[in-house]
């Protein structure tokens, strides 16, 4: 019997794009309580401008400072106080676009990489996983854009962030499993890349829908071990050479 998502509390945060909106819509249609913590009023307006989003009473937006550790904790505590727990957390972070050699990158560009890539990645998992421990249950998903594979050799800052996050994911997965929590780091393709031979036969919206379905299937899996933490869709992306 498939697991129902009705009244499951799903926290979805990060970038606003076709993928994140498809994931939001997908869980709303399943009657989950979907919460989106926005980093600006502009981001809230962007989310609410998408078709049909305002018809769902089970969709909640919150305005928070995503760089303020204490405020993020306070927001997550507010969610758990109201709903009892967070069942699923999905993080879709941004990434550094600096293309300079490491010896030429400025301290501002380094700090921007940390602020854009590393801080949200760490804070999201650190805070939510710690709260999931109380229920001995839950699933956390980090989503990375597979376009980073193409940029790693020419973007040293992205390479540092990417490889560090992969190692962090392994550690998060090991620690989470001790408390009955499943952790996944999912690599997905550029959904708008028409040159991708594996995906250009369907629309970006359909691709996003397939990724969303993949996340649901991960949640429905009965078995889990930390070797399953690193996932990819489609599967070949995880095995490309860096």
Q: What is the CATH number of the domain that holds 53?
A: 3.40.50.720
Direct distance between the N- and C-terminal alpha carbons of the chain, in angstroms, rounded to an integer: 40
What is the bridge-based pairing of β-strands 88-92 and 9-14?
parallel
From the number of C-beta atoms within 10 Å of its C-beta (0-12, 13-18, 19+), residue 6 rates as: exposed
The residue with tokens 């989470």 is: 176
At 238 the pLDDT is 47
At 53 the pLDDT is 86
The answer to whether residue 137 is domain-embedded is yes
Domain of 150 in residue numbering reads as 9-239
Which residue stretches of the chain have pLDDT < 50? 1, 194-203, 237-242
Q: What is the pTM of this model?
A: 0.86
The answer to whether residue 234 is domain-embedded is yes
> pLDDT tens digits, residue range 80-90?
999 999 999 99
Q: What residues have CB less than 8 Å from 20, skipping those under 6 apart?
A: 12, 14, 92
The answer to whether residue 1 is domain-embedded is no
> pLDDT tens digits, residue range 163-215?
898 899 999 999 999 999 999 999 887 655 544 444 444 445 557 888 889 99
At 197 the pLDDT is 45
Are the C-beta atoms of 102 and 157 separated by less than 8 Å?
Answer: yes
The answer to whether residue 102 is domain-embedded is yes
The residue with tokens 């502009």 is: 42
The answer to whether residue 73 is domain-embedded is yes
Among 153, 181, 136, 167, smallest CA distance to 230 is for 167
Among 211, 206, 170, smallest CA distance to 188 is for 211
At 118 the pLDDT is 87
The answer to whether residue 131 is domain-embedded is yes
Q: Cis peptide leading into 236, omega within 30 of 0?
A: no
Strand partners of residue 212: none
The answer to whether residue 2 is domain-embedded is no
The answer to whether residue 3 is domain-embedded is no
Are the C-beta atoms of 6 and 32 separated by less than 8 Å?
Answer: yes
User: Total domain count for the chain?
Assistant: 1
């Amino acid at each position: 019997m498939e697991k129902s998502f009705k009244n499951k509390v799903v926290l979805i945060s990060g970038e606003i794009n076709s993928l994140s909106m498809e994931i939001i819509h997908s869980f709303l249609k399943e009657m989950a309580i979907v919460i989106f913590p926005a980093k600006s009023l502009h981001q809230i307006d962007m989310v609410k401008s998408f078709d049909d989003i305002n018809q769902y009473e089970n969709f909640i937006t919150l305005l928070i400072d995503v760089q303020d550790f204490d405020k993020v904790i306070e927001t997550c505590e507010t969610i758990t106080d109201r709903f009892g727990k967070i069942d699923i957390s999905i993080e879709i972070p941004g990434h550094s676009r600096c293309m300079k050699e490491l010896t030429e990158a400025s301290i501002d560009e380094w700090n921007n990489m940390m602020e854009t890539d590393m801080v949200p990645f760490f804070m999201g998992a650190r805070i939510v996983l710690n709260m999931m421990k109380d229920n001995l249950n839950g699933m956390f998903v980090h989503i990375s854009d597979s376009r980073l594979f193409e940029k790693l050799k020419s973007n040293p800052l992205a390479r540092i962030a990417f490889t560090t996050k992969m190692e962090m994911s392994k550690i998060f997965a090991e620690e989470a499993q001790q408390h009955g929590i499943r952790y996944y780091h999912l690599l997905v393709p550029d959904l708008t890349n028409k040159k991708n031979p594996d995906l250009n036969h369907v629309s970006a919206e359909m691709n996003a829908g397939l990724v969303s379905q993949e996340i649901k299937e991960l949640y429905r899996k009965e078995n889990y071990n930390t070797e399953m933490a690193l996932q990819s869709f489609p599967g070949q992306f995880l095995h490309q050479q860096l």
